[in-house]
């Protein structure tokens, strides 16, 4: 079995191994029942660490591609080719549909909502309350959606402000409730026809976030995020806490700035709560390495405050009750 590993690729070595074996099974090059090399044999053949090969084999077994039997060896599982082929056809069908919807100028958020709407129709889950949260930066959107998703029987969607202003029908047609902050309430009121759907909330950093930030006075701080808006929110929190920090600088994910050099002289790193969703794998690895080396990494969680959250829950219950009338 020939395996080619590109060590300069951004794709991890174990994932390259998983992908290549899966393709060989799908193409029939590795037929059902075919015995694969042992972990040691494949490691020796490719120069890959045994632990990496073992991890790849375990992943393939979880996917149902191979079966590892102690004392007998590792074999391509029966029906694996058919199942992989079915998954490939499904992914190709989705790609074609996405291409068509993108050609109609729908944004990713709008496409996601159309998918969820049709799934809801097919699954007959009309009792769910559809909530759309609108904001100007992706970090806050992700934080709020994670918070709201804890409420049972809702469909929570995020929509960037420019998309909401360009295509307000998304909110008018699909949303039971449109949530935003006071900053954007006026803009949305001007485009959303059903004003009763609009709900204004107060947002603030979570208590754990504030407690951690209160301890960083006098240290050098690096703010790492996807948008200037979120960096501004973090800086405003630092000002409200009156933190006497030194040399506070901002790094935007995906920028041309040298992240390794940026991190070198920073004692504290403030990142979005789900920063791995916004940064590249290399950027994420450097941030985690910095934490392992003793730098303080604070996940800044900006969310709906307690009073506003209770108000949202009450409105959801009223909408849900009306669906049963």
For residue range 213-259, what is the model confidence (pLDDT) as tens digits?
999 988 999 999 999 999 999 999 999 999 887 789 999 999 888 99
Please indicate, yes or no, if residue 235 is contained in any of the structural domains: yes
290 in Cβ contact with 263 (< 8 Å): yes
CATH number for the domain that contains residue 71: 1.10.10.10
For residue range 156-165, what is the model confidence (pLDDT) as tens digits?
888 899 988 8
Residues 317 and 170 in one domain: yes
For residue range 73-117, what is the model confidence (pLDDT) as tens digits?
888 887 666 666 666 677 777 888 888 888 888 888 778 877 877
Please indicate, yes or no, if residue 29 is contained in any of the structural domains: yes
For residue range 120-165, what is the model confidence (pLDDT) as tens digits?
666 555 568 889 999 999 999 999 999 998 888 888 888 899 988 8
Residues 213 and 293 in one domain: yes
pLDDT at 322 over 60: yes
Please indicate, yes or no, if residue 98 is contained in any of the structural domains: no
Residues 74 and 144 in one domain: no
Residues 153 and 231 in one domain: no
Residues 41 and 69 in one domain: yes
Question: Which DSSP helix (H) or strand (E) runs through 213?
Answer: helix 207-213
Please indicate, yes or no, if residue 100 is contained in any of the structural domains: no
Distances (CA, A) of 129 to 69, 115, 195, 268: 47, 16, 17, 40
Residues 139 and 63 in one domain: no
Residues 152 and 225 in one domain: no
Per the structure, the complete domain to which residue 249 belongs is given by 207-300
Confidence bin at 325 (pLDDT 50/70/90): low
Residues 231 and 242 in one domain: yes
For residue range 38-75, what is the model confidence (pLDDT) as tens digits?
999 988 888 888 888 888 888 888 878 888 888 888 88
* Structural domain count, the chain: 3
State how far the Cα of 143 lies from the Cα of 291, in Å rounded to an integer: 22
Please indicate, yes or no, if residue 271 is contained in any of the structural domains: yes
Q: Strand pairing partners for 178?
A: 132, 198
309 in Cβ contact with 200 (< 8 Å): no
Half-sphere exposure of 114 (CA within 13 A, CB side): 12
């Amino acid at each position: 079995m020939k395996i080619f590993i590109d060590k300069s690729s951004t794709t991890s070595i174990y994932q390259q191994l998983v992908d290549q074996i899966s393709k060989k099974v799908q193409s029939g090059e590795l037929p059902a029942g075919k015995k694969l090399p042992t972990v040691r044999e494949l490691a020796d053949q490719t120069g890959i660490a045994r632990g990496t090969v073992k991890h790849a084999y375990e992943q393939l077994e979880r996917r149902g591609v191979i079966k590892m039997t102690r004392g007998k060896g590792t074999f391509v599982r029966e029906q694996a080719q058919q199942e992989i082929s079915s998954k490939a056809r499904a992914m190709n069908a989705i790609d074609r549909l996405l291409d068509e919807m993108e050609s109609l100028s729908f944004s990713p958020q709008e496409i996601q909502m159309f998918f969820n709407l049709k799934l809801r129709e097919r699954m007959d889950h009309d009792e769910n309350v559809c909530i759309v949260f609108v904001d100007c930066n992706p970090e806050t959107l992700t934080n709020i959606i994670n918070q709201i998703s804890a409420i049972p029987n809702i469909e929570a969607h995020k929509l960037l402000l420019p998309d909401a202003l360009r295509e307000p029908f998304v909110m008018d047609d699909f949303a039971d409730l449109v949530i935003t902050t006071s900053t954007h309430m006026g803009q949305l009121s001007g485009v959303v026809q059903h004003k009763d759907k609009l709900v204004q909330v107060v947002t603030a950093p979570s208590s754990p976030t504030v407690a951690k930030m209160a301890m960083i006075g006098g240290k050098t701080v690096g703010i790492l995020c996807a948008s200037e808006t979120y960096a501004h929110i973090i800086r405003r929190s630092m000002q409200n806490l009156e933190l006497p920090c030194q040399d506070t600088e901002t790094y935007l994910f995906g920028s041309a700035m040298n992240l390794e050099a940026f991190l070198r002289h920073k004692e504290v790193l403030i990142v979005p709560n789900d920063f791995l969703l916004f940064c590249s794998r290399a950027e994420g690895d450097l941030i985690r390495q910095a934490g392992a080396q003793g730098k303080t990494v604070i996940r800044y969680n900006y969310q709906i405050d307690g009073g506003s959250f209770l108000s949202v829950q009450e409105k959801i219950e009223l909408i849900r009750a009306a669906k049963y009338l």
